[in-house]
Homo-oligomer: A and B are copies of this chain.
């Protein structure tokens, strides 16, 4: 017996349940924003852009290329078809999307404690996507391979700040294009238990992704539940291509989610102005989401926007500049008005290395994505060189920022403890708060901590080698990969997947383009 009150003991099973629930709540596998979104534009301004999108859809039209069945579907729903050009009567797309696209959905992970909500007040942070190169401090820049792919799946699995395993975390260029989707999907399912993205480069690759997921989640699970959220890019301006439409159709029919995402270098694939990009993006996304809802009404779909500015000297896309941030805030508001989940942002940069440029540019996209209320944030970690390279150190630096954002989105605690008025009364003028009861009670959880930043004195930092952030990140990712242990996976399922992959690889031709 001690004098200390055993507060936790009272209640027995009930108290343990409460404690468990508390723990579950505090470790939600995605961010829940309690802060309001930043609204950059008035309702009147947003209406102007919506009206312009309607005009684009009705007068200019959107091309659905090499995919005759989509034309038939859209025609039957009321659109006018002229060759491959589809024109939509005013309000048609908005009505179809509003009527049947869900405002949010759960994407199931193979570990149910890592299921994510996509939409509403949730923000899901997802690794970068699509780089053919990798970069690290030891080896510089080189083509990515399947080992790099697995490494980034493992790093995302181990990072508490990323909620998703992503999709094409790098392009494993050592495997034929025609087959690599099998290795990629397998890697997500084998080396991680977080939710992931399926292949989109052809309908049959989407079908393979569905088949592999069904082996892990069980027969019939996919009919009722979403286990993949996959990226369907437009061929801006105002085109949707057959390969992407084919994959999108497979996913929609299987109740799997698609991110319908115009991809725009402003000035090349759209007008150079923010309001112009916004109207065009909205029109393209509405047309794509309408297609999805016609294929399978109620299939989860995310409104995507990915917009870059451009260097006036070279025509190269630029990142972290003001215009993409303005576009992001605008598109996020338009998505809210439409009532669908929104994808944009990430830690984007054009820097080739994880230097001050990379960080400035990345945070200048990341903060707008957080404040804009992005629901599905692709490219949250790793992105370098305009997406051409995935950086090992950059991944660590970005994931660290994702961790800080998790505290930020909780907003200001206005509870009695948060107000801390008693602490101020007890301490008083000229006294320090370090030893006050309130400080001692709250100190451990008071401040979010960066795992990459060094806050030591100059002298101590010098003694320890004067390392910069990238060098510290280099140590961190190596330790993580060294410490990696795979999540449990039923051996029979693993074998079934490997058998399926072997069979499919036999069937498929080797093609590297």
- Chain A positions within 8 Å of B, measured between CB atoms, are 35-36, 38-41, 45, 48-49, 52, 55-56, 59-63, 85, 141, 235, 237-239, 266-276, 278-280, 309-312, 314-318, 320-323, 325-326, 330, 350-364, 367, 371, 385-386, 388-389, 397, 401, 404-405, 407-408, 411-414, 417-421, 423-425, 427-434, 436, 438-439, 442-444, 446-450, 452-458, 461, 466, 468-470
> In the assembly, what is the distance between CA of A63 and CA of B364, in Å?
41
Pairs A–B under 8 Å by Cβ, sample size 20? A52-B419, A52-B424, A59-B425, A237-B424, A237-B429, A238-B428, A267-B443, A269-B432, A270-B433, A271-B423, A276-B424, A309-B448, A317-B455, A318-B450, A318-B453, A322-B408, A323-B407, A355-B468, A357-B452, A363-B363
* Minimal beta-carbon separation of A303 from chain B (angstroms): 18
Please give me the residue from chain B that is nearest to A398 by CB atom: B360
Q: Which residues of B contact A314 (CB under 8 A)?
A: 455-456
The contact of A321 among B56, B359, B450, by CB within 8 Å, is B450
A237–B430 touching, CB < 8 Å: yes
Q: How far is the CA of A205 from the CA of B330 in the complex (A)?
A: 50
Q: For A321, give the chain B residue with the smallest CB separation.
A: B448
Q: Is the beta-carbon distance between A461 and B276 smaller than 8 angstroms?
A: no
From known contacts A39-B36, A470-B356, infer whether A438 and B367 are also in contact, taking CB-CB under 8 Å. no
Q: Tell me which residues across on chain B come within 8 A of A446, comparing CB atoms.
A: 266-267, 272-273, 309, 312, 323
Contacts of A35 in B (CB 8 A): 40
- Which residue, of A39, A310, A322, A362, has the highest number of chain B Cβ atoms within 10 A? A322
**Nearest B-chain residue to A360, judged by Cβ:** B359
Residues of chain B with a CB closer than 8 A to A238's CB: 428-430
Asked whether, in the complex, the Cβ of A45 is within 8 Å of the Cβ of B364, the reply is no
Give Cα A362 to B367, complex, Å.
Answer: 12
Q: Which residues of B contact A272 (CB under 8 A)?
A: 420, 433, 438-439, 442-443, 446-447
Given contacts A352-B454, A412-B45, A424-B271, contact A405 B322 (CB under 8 A): yes
Tell me the smallest distance from the CB of A257 to a CB of chain B, in Å: 26
Given contacts A38-B371, A454-B352, contact A52 B421 (CB under 8 A): yes
A279 to chain B, nearest CB (A): 7
Q: Known: A414-B275, A428-B60. Is A309-B447 also a contact (CB below 8 A)?
A: yes
In the complex the two chains form, what is the Cα distance from A419 to B271 in whole Å?
Answer: 9
Q: How far is the CA of A414 from the CA of B452 in the complex (A)?
A: 41
How far is B453's CA from A59's CA once the two chains are assembled, in angstroms?
A: 40
| Across the A-B interface, the 7 shortest Cβ-Cβ residue pairs | A276-B420, A359-B359, A271-B420, A322-B408, A272-B446, A238-B429, A355-B468
Instruction: Contacts A314-B456, A325-B408, A414-B48 given; indicate if A356 touches B56 (C-beta within 8 A).
Output: no
Q: How far is the CA of A442 from the CA of B266 in the complex (A)?
A: 12
When A357-B359, A421-B279 are in contact, do A388 and B268 touch as well, CB less than 8 Å?
no
- Are the C-beta atoms of A385 and B448 separated by less than 8 Å? no
Task: Give the complex CA separation of A443 and B270 in angstroms.
Answer: 12
Contact between B425 and A237 (Cβ–Cβ < 8 Å)? no
The distance in angstroms between the C-alpha atoms of A90 and B268, with both chains bound, is 60
Write the nearest CB–CB distance from A266 to chain B, whole angstroms.
Answer: 7
Contact B430–A274 (Cβ < 8 Å): no
Whether B404 contacts A438 by the Cβ 8 Å rule is no
B352 touches A359 (CB 8 A): no
Given A268-B434, A326-B412, A449-B311; A357-B468 close (CB under 8 Å): yes
Q: Please tell me if the beta carbons of B273 and A417 are within 8 angstroms of each other in the complex.
A: yes
| Chain B positions within 8 Å of A269 at CB level | 432-433
- With A and B bound together, what is the CA distance between A141 and B141 in angstroms? 31
